[in-house]
Structure 1
Amino acid sequence: MDAIMNSSRIIPAVAVPEGAGVIVHRTIGTPVLRDYDPFLLLDHISSNNPDDYIAGFPSHPHRGFTTFTYIIDGHMMHQDDMGNSGDLRPGSAQWMKAASGIIHSEMPQQENGLLRGFQLWINLPAANKMDPPEYQEYSAEAFPVVETPDYTLKVLIGRFADAHAPIMDNITDVTYFDVQVRPGKHFQHRLPPGKNSLLYVFEGSGQFNAQIVPSHSLVIFDTDDHSFDFIAGKEGARFIVVSGKPIHEPIARHGPFVMNTREEIDQAMWDFQTNTFVRDRAWIKRNR
């Protein structure tokens, strides 16, 4: 391992209403951390109370970026205005490259019980913002799992050791892991150099390089070192670890539109208002 990191930021999630009133725990996309190149937003849904999620996310547009949705518990249905649909059940995930434009909805398919998962927004470079939209969608069984005596790791995007996820990102080279560490055990990991990386704890707690990290907290890596040691607390811990290649381009942002200039945002708003927003039908790739 490289020298262990000794510099990081710990950012607690804030509860905010989204969609038609869904309560999400947000870390990226707030006044504290507006973005973390290439990441634009990180929302965590976690509730047994249907009042927190039942209204869902009715039809809304996206342009200029990619969303990655990971459902851990519960049932969510996706549909877009071109007739595409997806059924996200426990352990499944969807990579949606909105790019030139998609109008879609994401609606819970349950009236009670636990709904839990994440949505991550990933920026696209200027050269790819108006690409045709695409989907990559897979059930829980499609994602490889790495088991060790200390932890269990699910590979959702990219690869970990010899395990390769079915979802690959050839633009910002994102990797995304769901890690469960057993009580008192370690997870030591070498982060990819040249990328921005984050860790979000959503079950239990632990120590990150000797710093206490409670549940619903984001760790941002503020150093050029590339290794860390996470020690789970007495109840164990579960977290996501995400890395991506920064784009280093200007960001112009207005709600569901993320472009490079204000003029491009104005064009997106005009296209949406004049019903010329969706230019290409999305291509779908999913397991059967």
Structure 2
Amino acid sequence: MSTDTLSRIPSAAVSRSRTVEQLVTGRPTSDGAGVKLTRVLSQPLQHRLDPFLMLDAFGSDKADDYIAGFPDHPHRGFETVTYMIAGRMLHRDSAGHEGLLENGGVQWMTAGRGVIHSEIPQQEEGVMEGFQLWLNLPAKDKLSAPWYRDFAAAELPRFVTEAGVEVTVIAGESHGVTGAVTREATAPLYLDLHLPADASFSQPLPAGQNAFLYVYRGALKVEGRTVPVRNMAILANEADSDGVLLEGAEGMEETRALLIAGRPLGEPIAQYGPFVMNTEQEIYQAVADYRAGRLAA
């Protein structure tokens, strides 16, 4: 859908913007069968950014960096949200789900009590770029039935502000537009923002929510502080702030960034690789179930 066909929406009112508490530069690593990626949100930040557990950014035009993909591997106790900016990835899992994730699409998977899945690139050359976010589940839902949904780019709600900012609403609600997915317990907000030069964007945020930005093109300013490309900005939880105001940095033709926020669960976090539960005993059980072939039963 062309942005010309989208209604122009006035910017939401924010009287006092949150500020940047901390800038985080991701750590280069690899996962799966050697896929090169940048781990932006890692375990040391899980309590600060509760309910979010991990954010990986991947992007390369070198096939050797991604071609082996992510062969069969297990998950239990959380949700994965994969957003593909460019490229094609095939998903298959033990619950019988299959889907092809393509340019601009989103794959949302609830692992719940357990799922074994694979994510394999369906290309041998060209650019592959995207993000995977891990969203925690409350204790009462950690052993729920697995769930999966693919959203093609055209299915994702979008709007354009009067300032020309193009917004894709993957989760939550922005400017009266409800995203592709909502969750009652964690109330996640997941926006992909494309800001033209000198444009600004405001988003109301409840004071109790944790929030962060990840800039993947250009640069942003938040209350006078610059957030450079490939940096995550943790937004401070000031009690008197009612949202965040973002401005494109000078000299940037376009800035692209993710704005992510959610309601903290305030529960213990126990993680061992692909298993995220509340206690060590639950982790031991997850490992035992996987080894015995019961995880995805």
How many positions carry a matched residue from both structures? 278
Q: 2:223: which partner in 1?
A: 209
Structure 1 position 255 matched with structure 2 position 273: yes
| Unaligned ranges ≥5, structure 2 | 1-13
Structure 1 position 229 matched with structure 2 position 245: yes
**1:266 partner amino acid:** Y
Q: Residues 164 and 199 of structure 2 are in contact (CA less than 8 Å); yes or no, is this contact kept in structure 1?
A: yes
Query: Aligned runs of 1:111-190 on 2, under 5 Å?
Result: 111-148=124-161, 149-190=163-204
> Aligned partners of 1:229 and 1:169: how far apart in 2?
24
Structure 1 position 245 matched with structure 2 position 263: yes
Alignment equivalent of 1:2, drawn from 2, 15, 19: 15
Which segments of structure 1 move beyond 6 Å, counting only runs of 4 or more? none
> Aligned partners of 1:4 and 1:165: how far apart in 2?
23
The answer to which of 1-10 and 82-91 deviates more is 1-10
Q: 1:58: which partner in 2?
A: 71
> CA offsets per residue over residues 78-136 of structure 1, 9 Å max, x none?
00123321110111111101010000001111111111111100111111100111112
Structure 1 position 16 matched with structure 2 position 29: yes
> Aligned partners of 2:22 and 2:194: how far apart in 1?
21
Q: Residues 192 and 243 of structure 1 are in contact (CA less than 8 Å); yes or no, is this contact kept in structure 2?
A: no
- With over 3 angstroms needed to count, the CA separation of the structure-2 counterparts of 1:275 and 1:6, relative to structure 1, is closer
Q: 1:220: which partner in 2?
A: 234
**1:239 partner amino acid:** A
Q: What SS does the corresponding residue of 2:290 show, helix, strand or coil?
A: helix
Q: What SS does the corresponding residue of 1:90 show, helix, strand or coil?
A: coil
CA drift of 1:162 comes to 2.3
CA drift of 1:30 comes to 5.0
**1:44 partner amino acid:** A
> Aligned partners of 1:124 and 1:267: how far apart in 2?
17
- With over 3 angstroms needed to count, the CA separation of the structure-2 counterparts of 1:30 and 1:51, relative to structure 1, is farther
> Aligned partners of 2:191 and 2:152: how far apart in 1?
16
> CA offsets per residue over residues 211-243 of structure 1, 9 Å max, x none?
111111111112222322222132221001111
> Aligned partners of 1:144 and 1:240: how far apart in 2?
15
Identity of aligned residues (%): 38
> Aligned partners of 1:64 and 1:210: how far apart in 2?
39
> Aligned partners of 2:216 and 2:43: how far apart in 1?
18
- In the superposition, the TM-score normalised over structure 1's length comes to 0.92
CA drift of 1:34 comes to 4.4
Q: 1:106: which partner in 2?
A: 119
Q: 2:295: which partner in 1?
A: 277
Q: Residues 19 and 235 of structure 2 are in contact (CA less than 8 Å); yes or no, is this contact kept in structure 1?
A: no
| Unaligned ranges ≥5, structure 1 | 280-288
> Aligned partners of 1:198 and 1:226: how far apart in 2?
15
CA drift of 1:16 comes to 0.9
CA drift of 1:247 comes to 0.5
Q: What SS does the corresponding residue of 1:59 show, helix, strand or coil?
A: strand
CA drift of 1:24 comes to 1.1
> CA offsets per residue over residues 5-41 of structure 1, 9 Å max, x none?
344211111211111111111111155x345200000
Q: Residues 201 and 239 of structure 1 are in contact (CA less than 8 Å); yes or no, is this contact kept in structure 2?
A: yes
> CA offsets per residue over residues 171-203 of structure 1, 9 Å max, x none?
311111100111122122222332111111001
CA drift of 1:264 comes to 0.6
Q: Residues 26 and 231 of structure 2 are in contact (CA less than 8 Å); yes or no, is this contact kept in structure 1?
A: yes
Give the root-mean-square deviation of aligned CA atoms.
1.4
**1:56 partner amino acid:** G
